[in-house]
Structure 1
Amino acid sequence: MEARFDVLPPRERIASDRHWRVAHATGTSLPGWLVLLPRRHVTAVHDLTDAEAALGALQVRLSRALRTVTGCAKTYTAQFAEAEGFAHVHFHVVPRPEDLPPRLHGPGVFGLLRAPEPERLTADRADHMAHALMAEPGDRQNRVSPGGHPPAHATGRRPIPGTAAGSAAGRSHHRSEHRHAGPSPCGGAGPT
């Protein structure tokens, strides 16, 4: 399946390393709602390897990138792995915009994951957000509005910022077996 990884759309391969892949959630009306997926099938957090479990720093780096790109006030992280069809470990990294209505704060934000079809981000808008997030972290010129377009140089697959692969500019990063392909597991089926 690793061969299929490179043909996934940008929204499905925002960043990756040997253990994790970052995708934009589907079925959401919130630009920048990310899903952090292990590169192998795991059903419970306690089954992560020590190397996979070092994801706290990764969540912080993704949160910083979301703040730079979206201007969000803060980010939420959540992991349940309980919804039918989605009983595998994956973490939601969700930007909370400054102007988000209070009823959607905290767990209420999951209401945006089950957005009505007309309100959902289109694949094109999710790809634009993905390209902006793939751009150099911390570059304020890469900030986009929810409907905006990323800068022209924000293309291609990027390693996860701050990882060995991400800090080794110009080097290709190691890819391990990729078992998740196709749509993000966090689509219209609801939060997990």
Structure 2
Amino acid sequence: MTCVSCRTDAALATAPPREHIASDTHWRAAHAFGTDLLGWLVLVPRRHVTAVAALTDAEAATLGAWQVRLSRALHAVTGCEKTYIAQFAEAEGFAHVHFHIVARMPDQAPELKGPRVFALLGAEPGVSAGRRDEFALELRRRLV
């Protein structure tokens, strides 16, 4: 299976907290990997879909609520001023629709604001797996 999102969803029962912050029938929230920013989440449909227009009505009906819930939890845990939400699904292995929900911190450097925040993605090693797991558990407690 070449789709990273589908491969992760297939093993959800044993996934670490960073890969399964929360989920329902249609969506799964995870912390992004390969980023230097603690609080970079991805919201992923539970079924394989490669375009927003292909979401079912049921998936679409809960998308906004998930984005708001995750944004509120990020604000509570990180103190971020706002969240950025973006969707591209173009990278190799990541054509599965996913929404980036990114904490924009009060002290974030001007050169990393707006779409330039993507300069923080693709970092190696990025935030450690252990720290992302701790963060994911704290977010779970804050989801409303």
TM-score by length of 2: 0.89
Q: Is the 8 A contact 2:43 2:99 kept in 1?
A: yes
Q: What is the alpha-carbon distance in structure 2 between the residues aligned to residue 67 and residue 40 of structure 1?
A: 28
- Report the equivalent of 1:17: 24
Does residue 127 of structure 1 match 2:133? yes
Which of 77, 96, 101 is the matching residue for 1:93? Answer: 101
Which of 28, 35, 47 is the matching residue for 1:28? Answer: 35
Gaps of 5+ in 2: 1-6
SS of the equivalent of 2:60 reads coil
Q: Is the 8 A contact 2:77 2:142 kept in 1?
A: no
- Report the equivalent of 2:77: 69
Between structures 1 and 2, the one with greater helix share: 2
Q: What is the alpha-carbon distance in structure 2 between the residues aligned to residue 124 and residue 8 of structure 1?
A: 13
Which of 102, 111, 116 is the matching residue for 1:108? Answer: 116
Q: What is the alpha-carbon distance in structure 2 between the residues aligned to residue 72 and residue 108 of structure 1?
A: 17
Q: What is the alpha-carbon distance in structure 1 between the residues aligned to residue 55 and residue 117 of structure 2?
A: 26
Q: What is the alpha-carbon distance in structure 2 between the residues aligned to residue 128 and residue 107 of structure 1?
A: 27
The alpha carbon displacement at 1:3 in A equals 7.2
Two-structure CA RMSD over aligned residues (Å): 1.5
Between structures 1 and 2, the one with greater strand share: 2
% identity of equivalent residues: 65
Q: What letter matches 2:76 in structure 1?
A: T
For each residue in 1:86-140, what CA deviation from the matched residue of structure 2 results, as whole angstroms up to 9, or x when unmatched? 11210000000000001000111111112243xx100000001001101144xxx
Larger radius of gyration: 1
For each residue in 1:131-160, what CA deviation from the matched residue of structure 2 results, as whole angstroms up to 9, or x when unmatched? 1101144xxxxxxxxxxxxxxxxxxxxxxx
Shift in CA distance, 47/136, structure 1 to aligned 2, threshold 3 Å: same
The alpha carbon displacement at 1:85 in A equals 2.0
Q: What letter matches 2:32 in structure 1?
A: A
Q: What is the alpha-carbon distance in structure 2 between the residues aligned to residue 50 and residue 75 of structure 1?
A: 25
TM-score by length of 1: 0.68
Gaps of 5+ in 1: 138-160, 162-192
Shift in CA distance, 82/3, structure 1 to aligned 2, threshold 3 Å: closer
Q: What is the alpha-carbon distance in structure 1 between the residues aligned to residue 121 and residue 69 of structure 2?
A: 22
